[in-house]
Structure 1
Amino acid sequence: MTQDRYAAIVVGGSSGGIEALMALLPELPPTLRAAVLIVMHMPRDPRSRLLEIFRPTCALPLREAQDKDPISPGTVYFAPPDYHLLLDQGPRVALSVDAPVHYSRPSIDVLFESAADLYGDELVAVLLSGGNEDGARGLQAVRAANGLVIVQEPSSAPVSTMPLAGMARVDADHVLPPKGIAALIAGLHRQGRL
């Protein structure tokens, strides 16, 4: 892709995705300008522990997304348990209790598709380890909008179903292990593109 600047990074994962985030989030530069929005398949517990897990190691501010939140550059947003996370004009967050997609709410496809609609070629999408095909259709939307598509190297994923499904649907721009994804994002930041 030849996009000079990317405005947002969307990340999705399921089984094994937390391990990938542990390699990725601590490496995000504190001066990153792009917003980062994350969907992880989690139990429908009303309280997520993701902020507690990642706040000590991530240099960027972390938030659990709230409906109608404006999306701030250089901020990491996690989808709250049992809500789809969508992006809307503003840009701002929209939460939904629509039916699960691939048995999941939040759904990676829902985030990726709404982000592709909003950001077009200014979007980076990262699909991580997971045990179903959620995210593959979303990657197609990102590819159709000329966004940058990154998939976790299946051999580095504890559960490779999700990255393999994504790679079956689109030609990824990069297929990398988590540390490689972190290095790529850091490199794009150094180039002034994130």
Structure 2
Amino acid sequence: MSLIENLPDGFNWPVIVVLHRLKNVNSELVKLLAGVKNGRRVCEPEDKTQLRDKYIYLAPQNYHVLLEADKTISLDYSEPVHFSRPSIDVTFEAAAHVYGNKAAGILLSGANNDGAYGLEQIWRAGGSVAVQDPETCEYAAMPLAAIHRIREVLILQPAVLALFLENLLLNK
């Protein structure tokens, strides 16, 4: 939430948030994120939603989020990846494929390996990648898996993650 709250001024790109959530439990997460949106709209996308600047898209429970070449979101109900649907790997891999070196991924605290492979795909496409410093994580497995896969991944303290995004703005 603090990362969204501290998105830099001028950071107008769409943001996709993929969290592992229970699939059959009502969630108030969209409302919580909307409370810290920092001038951005927060929504759970539907299939074929057009990506728009200054929007934060929260992956719906129990659906993978894919990005299409026409800059739309596709929702997918295929098998879980790393026991997760939505899978961070699936979204990161799609971002690498569609956006190439313009893609960016940040992998935060988590208890499995989901996200490491997808983050590596963003890096291989020339995109920008960072992980939360494992020493600051409640569950360090996800950032550690990415650190083991990607030599040049940035390992950042939570307070510095917004600066990573600000740096993207300066170098676009």
Common fold by TM > 0.5: yes
Task: Give the CA deviation at 1:73.
Answer: 1.3
Paired residue type of 2:150 = V
Residue 114 of structure 1 aligns with which residue? Answer: 94
Q: Which has the higher contact order (CA 8 A, sep 6+)?
A: 1
Where does 1:152-191 land on structure 2 (aligned, <5 Å)? Answer: 152-189=132-169, 191=170
Provide Cα deviations, 1:33-60, integer angstroms capped at 9, x if missing partner.
Answer: 2110111000112533211111111121
Provide Cα deviations, 1:9-68, integer angstroms capped at 9, x if missing partner.
Answer: xxxxxxxxxxxxx22010113532211011100011253321111111112111111100
Identity %: 36
- Match for 1:51 among 30, 54, 65? 30
5+ unaligned residues in a row in structure 1: which ranges? 1-21
- Indicate whether 1:33 and 2:5 are aligned: no
Runs of 4+ in 1 over 4 A off after TM superposition: none
Provide Cα deviations, 1:86-135, integer angstroms capped at 9, x if missing partner.
Answer: 10021000000000000000000000001100000001110000000001
Q: TM-score, normalised by structure 2?
A: 0.94
- 1:47·1:81 contact (CA, 8 Å) conserved in 2? no
- Match for 1:81 among 61, 85, 108? 61
State how far apart, in whole Å, the 2-side matches of 1:184 and 1:138 are. 19
Paired residue type of 2:85 = R
Residue 146 of structure 1 aligns with which residue? Answer: 126
5+ unaligned residues in a row in structure 2: which ranges? none
Paired residue type of 2:3 = L
Greater Cα offset, 46-55 or 69-78: 46-55
- 2:108·2:132 contact (CA, 8 Å) conserved in 1? yes
RMSD, aligned CA: 1.4
- 1:151·1:163 contact (CA, 8 Å) conserved in 2? yes
State how far apart, in whole Å, the 2-side matches of 1:29 and 1:61 are. 15
Task: Give the CA deviation at 1:192.
Answer: 6.5
Where does 1:58-137 land on structure 2 (aligned, <5 Å)? Answer: 58-59=37-38, 60-137=40-117
